[in-house]
Amino acid sequence: MRDATLPDRHTELPLEQLVFPGEARDPGSNSPSPRTRVPLPWRRGATAGGRLGATWQRAAMSAHGDFDVLVIGAGFGGMYMVHSARQHGLRVHALEAGGDVGGTWYWNRYPGARCDVESLEYSYGFSDDLQQDWVWTERYASQPEILAYADHVATRFDLRRDISFTTTVRSATFDEERSRWIVRTEAGEELSGQFLVTAIGCLSAANIPPFPGLEHFGGEWQHTGRWPATGLDFSGKRVGVIGTGSSGVQSIPVIAGQAEKLFVFQRTPAYTVPAHNRALSGEEEKAIKADYPAFRAANRLMITAMGSRFPLNDVSALAVSPDERERLFEERWERGGLGFMGSFNDLLIDAAANELAAAFVRNKIRTIVEDPDVAGRLCPTTTIGCKRLCVDTGYYATFNRDNVELVDVAAAPITEITAAGLRTTERAFDLDCIVFATGFDAMTGALSRIDIRGRGGMPLTDAWAEGPRTYLGLGVAGFPNLFTITGPGSPSVLANMVVAVEQHVDWITGCIEHLRTRGVREIEPTAEAQDAWVTFVADVADFTLFPTCNSWYLGANIEGKRRVFMPLLGFPEYVEQCERVAAKGYEGFALI
Ligand code: N01
């Protein structure tokens, strides 16, 4: 069916490789290996985020207000952009709202925060010395460890001297006469750059639903994506967690262990698979470090740029016996992690195959959760993997605890936050703390919160009124010299993000070098190339089951947001396309 009905361009996407991230083949490497770690992260925040650091940065910024490249954000994308631009001899400066480097991992300090991509893969590959020296302690790194890594990278490559922290960008305007971007900060500073690179993250604009009454709440509340560095003490407290996506699923088991009483306000149950996190064995690390570049290269050939050690099982879920199917699902469940979606090759393209995987997980929930009524309410009915699959440690078992209560806010929605807690259409809850695990205005939210204006003063929000429109997810027609790292229309959140940002940064610096050696002042996608790309991204999504649920990939979690599938599935083909465009003198872009 797929070959017959798809447009030609789909044949370039090896959908038979539809695989989600996998994990190590080496099951014998479970032995705990406690190792001394690098210094912990908050140490650096205290200096770079302090008043002295901020003052020094501002002085440096105003002394050199005109740059070749301005970067917004100092997460993994912004950090590598600064490094790479410098390597290319460019004068670069980054502006970061947070007090230090780390982006997502700077802000998401909620209890239990941990990556769902394996640490040996979720790390930079641009420096072999770096990847050889750094030692990850666990299969899936915790937030403090990833932040420590970001700190190490910033120090090792002396990145902070070209980054202004606690600096929020208010606007960015393209000055057509000078061919420069003028960037203004909330504090009133003005900087200019020939090129503007946004590295503000796909999941950085926190979504706090506009429940009436929040301002009257007498307790403490936080959003998982804006968690205070000082943490929150839940001991002896009545806590409400709103939301059961990845952030809720990770934090709920930890909060349940601390709080006196935990209410979990669930609107849509999530599918989650166990992480089976463990200490990394020295042997496993040694094997990868013996030829890290080859390991990186193998992962870049995977559709999501990760998981080469445990790739997709290239068989349809409908083509095997029920016993064999159960055995293969069980094997992946026992290995843990996102690789579960690679049990068969059609889980994300065939609804019947998908339902088999969904039923397997529902059976697991009923086995783990003792109260059949609670188990039933935890069982999702949607397409598995359509919203990003969660990876957990003890999530379902948490609902066997006496101090945890699952509240169905689909049946009885939250109507208001009160001074004492919150109220649903059925009941009032007294709470000391509310945790908003309510997600993000994904992929476009952070961009639309900055007043970005291109040619003729056109606001980006107007250009994207019908949904984001980019060419390659890297450039926007009407916005010359703007590059969007992991922008909508690129693999971004459907790939290992560190690999995706490295690929984008390398492409951007290569492009800038091309322009400068030829004396080109401006580069901008043509409207035709952009239109074709937007159609292509939508066609690829339509080939999968992704558009069948209300996910943040589609912007469906934000009221009024246009429903458009934003990321592009297929990292290797995407890379080839980017390379083809560059080799043809930046085909699809106008160079002036
Ligand atoms: O956010 P989400 P997240 N009333 O949007 C609920 C990455 N990430 O922060 O599904 C009641 O997934 C909402 O309900 P519903 C990862 O890519 C990675 O958890 O809209 N509930 C949902 O349950 C992930 O996918 C890691 O019905 C409301 C929840 O809030 C992405 O970030 C860890 C509501 C939001 O879930 C986002 O995850 C954490 C309302 N008014 C995050 N509004 C790892 O690496 C929203 N909800 C492991």
Ligand 1 atom nearest to CA at 387: 25
Residue 149's pLDDT is what?
A: 98
* Rg (the chain; Cα; Å): 24
| pLDDT beyond 80 at 1 | no
Q: Among 63, 62, 127, 61, which Cα is nearest to 94's? A: 61
Q: How many CA atoms lie within 13 A of 439 on its CB side?
A: 21
Distance CA 190, CA 39 (A): 35
**158-215: pLDDT as tens digits:** 999 999 999 999 999 999 999 999 999 999 999 999 999 999 999 999 999 999 999 9
Positive or negative torsion for Cα 176, 181, 183, 189: negative
Residue 49 confidence class, pLDDT cut points 50, 70, 90: very low
245 alpha carbon – ligand 1 mean position (Å): 4
Residue 33's pLDDT is what?
A: 29
- If you average pLDDT over residues 85-99, what whole number do you get? 98
Q: Which residue has the CA at smallest separation from atom 46 of ligand 1?
A: 438
Pocket of ligand 1 (CB under 6 A): 114-116, 203, 209, 224, 242-248, 250, 265, 267-268, 388, 391, 409, 414, 437-440, 493, 552, 557
Distance CA 20, CA 311 (A): 8
Residue carrying structure tokens 């290569």: 510
CB-CB contact of 69 with 92 (8 Å): yes
**257-277: pLDDT as tens digits:** 999 999 999 999 999 999 999
Q: Where are the alpha helices (DSSP H) in 379-458?
A: 395-398, 445-448
Q: Which residue has the CA at smallest separation from atom 36 of ligand 1?
A: 245
Residue 22 DSSP code:
-
203 alpha carbon – ligand 1 mean position (Å): 10
Residue 57 confidence class, pLDDT cut points 50, 70, 90: low
Distance CA 296, CA 315 (A): 25
Q: Which residue has the CA at smallest separation from atom 11 of ligand 1?
A: 267
Question: Per the structure block, which two tokens stand in for 449?
Answer: 């919160």
The gap between the terminal CA atoms of the chain, to the nearest Å, is 44
| pLDDT beyond 70 at 85 | yes
Of all residues in the chain, the percent with pLDDT exceeding 90 is 89
216 alpha carbon – ligand 1 mean position (Å): 24
Ligand 1 atom nearest to CA at 390: 48
Distance CA 565, CA 491 (A): 11
**126-135: pLDDT as tens digits:** 999 999 999 9
Mutate to test the pocket of ligand 1, among 143, 395, 557 (most ligand atoms within 8 A of CB): 557
Residue 333's pLDDT is what?
A: 98
Distance CA 288, CA 301 (A): 17
- If you average pLDDT over residues 530-538, what whole number do you get? 98
Residue 486 DSSP code:
T
Q: How far is CA 188 from the centre of its chain?
A: 30
437 alpha carbon – ligand 1 mean position (Å): 6
| pLDDT beyond 50 at 148 | yes
Q: Which residue has the CA at smallest separation from atom 12 of ligand 1?
A: 245
Ligand 1 atom nearest to CA at 203: 32
55 alpha carbon – ligand 1 mean position (Å): 36
Residue 65's pLDDT is what?
A: 84
Q: Is the pTM of this model over 0.85?
A: yes
Residue 54 confidence class, pLDDT cut points 50, 70, 90: low
270 alpha carbon – ligand 1 mean position (Å): 9
- If you average pLDDT over residues 349-375, what whole number do you get? 98
Distance CA 400, CA 402 (A): 7
Ligand 1 atom nearest to CA at 114: 48
- If you average pLDDT over residues 32-37, what whole number do you get? 26
Mutate to test the pocket of ligand 1, among 142, 203, 247 (most ligand atoms within 8 A of CB): 247
Distance CA 564, CA 542 (A): 11
**306-339: pLDDT as tens digits:** 999 999 999 999 999 999 999 999 999 999 999 9
Q: Which residue has the CA at smallest separation from atom 34 of ligand 1?
A: 438
- If you average pLDDT over residues 510-516, what whole number do you get? 98
CB-CB contact of 348 with 341 (8 Å): yes
Please enumerate in sequence order all residues whose Cβ is within 8 A of that of 86, keeping only pairs 6 or more positions apart, or say none: 92, 162
Mutate to test the pocket of ligand 1, among 116, 123, 203, 246 (most ligand atoms within 8 A of CB): 246
Bigger pLDDT: 527 vs 57: 527
- If you average pLDDT over residues 442-467, what whole number do you get? 98
**402-413: pLDDT as tens digits:** 999 999 999 999
319 alpha carbon – ligand 1 mean position (Å): 34
